[in-house]
Amino acid sequence: MKRRDFITIVASATAWVATARGQERRHVIGVLSGLSNSVPDTLPAFYQGLKDRGFVEGKNISTEFRRADGDYDRLPSLATELVARNVSVIVTFDLPSAFAAKEATKTIPVVFGVGADPVKLGLVASFNQPRGNLTGVTFLFGALGPKQLELIHELFPNSSTVALLLNPSNPNSQIDTPAIQAAADALGQHLEVLTATTEDELETAFTTMIRQRVDALVVKADPFFIQRRERLVALAAHHAIPTIYSLRVFVDLGGLISYGGASLDAFRQVGVYAGRILKGEKPADLPVQQSIKFDLVINLKTAKVLGLTVPPELLARADEVIE
């Protein structure tokens, strides 16, 4: 064999081995979501968490998305698709998706970001020892209902009837309703609980609010409502109903006020956990993290349109004011 041919063969073999090793190092992450699109900035925060652990999209990881477009009934089959794809880890950013992933696999690691108590709902065994193949982060939106009711009352103290809008398809929909009812009773308010799972039911819910002379509205955190956030904000504006939400994305669109967890940091932590699992750690050894920072955002322009004067004390406590 000529020396030139030998060098060519060795170089080709070396390149092939390097390529093969590169392919071995590229993990596939499955993202399961009840939404058709992510909440703004969620994915960048998630990818930053992965990058903090040395994983970069297109370099040593790739992401496959399965989205239910607000139809939770599709989630089990979408989760099954990711399992069949044999992804390295499944990531979920909402509670219905987390439950679908849990039912679909007992072996593939699942990292969740949810706005509810995962222990109380049976998603994991405990915060410190999640056991099984699931772990993640919770920002406990579900426990904020009473505080949200107090805030909307502080902004609109003359309100006597307040509506709570929730999606009954969400496993977390009713869990804190008794606490919200108790808060309403303490404030001397009547609480009207309304539900919606479709666009038509959203319209019906607001029609009911007008008929019941609802003064203010608390919208419970839910993927379907996030998906329809523009419509929700438009309906609240059209009917001139002061409304509080769990995410600032509603306020950015013209909603009045939001109070909820600083979810971007939580989603970054989801990425960190996914990266740690890709490096060999087990979900059972990673305690469920609790986001302890809550943001209060107020839209002064919307308050002015509604004829509301925001108390100076409330403005001073706000993390951000949109003018």
Residues 70 and 95: beta-carbon distance below 8 Å: no
Across 74-82, average pLDDT: 97
Q: Is the dihedral of CA 81, 129, 262, 246 positive or negative?
A: positive
25-139+262-292 against 142-260+295-322: fold identical = yes
Write down the residue that tokens 């009045």 correspond to.
256
In this predicted structure, the answer to whether residue 23 has a pLDDT above a threshold of 60 is no
Q: What are phi and psi of 315, to 5 degrees?
A: -60, -40
CA dihedral in degrees (275, 139, 33, 249; nearest 10)? -120
Tell me the percentage of the chain whose pLDDT exceeds 90. Answer: 72
Q: According to the model, what pLDDT value does residue 7 have?
A: 44
Q: According to the model, what pLDDT value does residue 10 have?
A: 44
pLDDT tens sequence across 216-273: 999 998 888 988 999 999 999 999 999 999 989 999 999 999 998 766 788 899 999 9
DSSP, res 310: P
Give the range among 138-142, 167-171, 318-322 with minimum mean pLDDT: 138-142
Mean pLDDT of the chain: 89
In this predicted structure, the answer to whether residue 161 has a pLDDT above a threshold of 50 is yes
**Angle between helices 177-186 and 145-155 in degrees, nearest 10:** 30
pLDDT tens sequence across 282-318: 999 999 998 777 889 999 999 999 999 999 999 999 9
Q: According to the model, what pLDDT value does residue 8 have?
A: 45
**Domain with residues 25-139+262-292, CATH architecture:** 3-Layer(aba) Sandwich (3.40)
Q: According to the model, what pLDDT value does residue 262 have?
A: 63
In this predicted structure, the answer to whether residue 28 has a pLDDT above a threshold of 90 is yes
Across 104-118, average pLDDT: 94
pLDDT tens sequence across 114-157: 888 899 889 999 999 999 999 999 987 667 889 999 999 999 99
In this predicted structure, the answer to whether residue 51 has a pLDDT above a threshold of 80 is yes
Q: Which residues contact 39 (CB under 8 A, 6 or more apart)?
A: 93, 226, 247, 249, 263
Q: According to the model, what pLDDT value does residue 223 have?
A: 85
Topology of domain 142-260+295-322 in CATH is: Rossmann fold (3.40.50)
In this predicted structure, the answer to whether residue 175 has a pLDDT above a threshold of 50 is yes
Residues 291 and 261: beta-carbon distance below 8 Å: yes
Query: In the chain, where are the structural domains located?
Result: 25-139+262-292, 142-260+295-322
Distance in Å from the first CA to the final CA of the chain: 78
Write down the residue that tokens 């013209």 correspond to.
254
Q: According to the model, what pLDDT value does residue 133 have?
A: 98
Q: According to the model, what pLDDT value does residue 70 have?
A: 80
**Judging by beta carbons within 10 Å of its beta carbon (0-12, 13-18, 19+), is residue 8 exposed, middle or buried?**
exposed
Structure-block tokens of residue 229:
């956030």
pTM reported for the whole predicted model: 0.81
Structure-block tokens of residue 290:
């609790």
Give the range among 10-24, 42-56, 189-203 with minimum mean pLDDT: 10-24
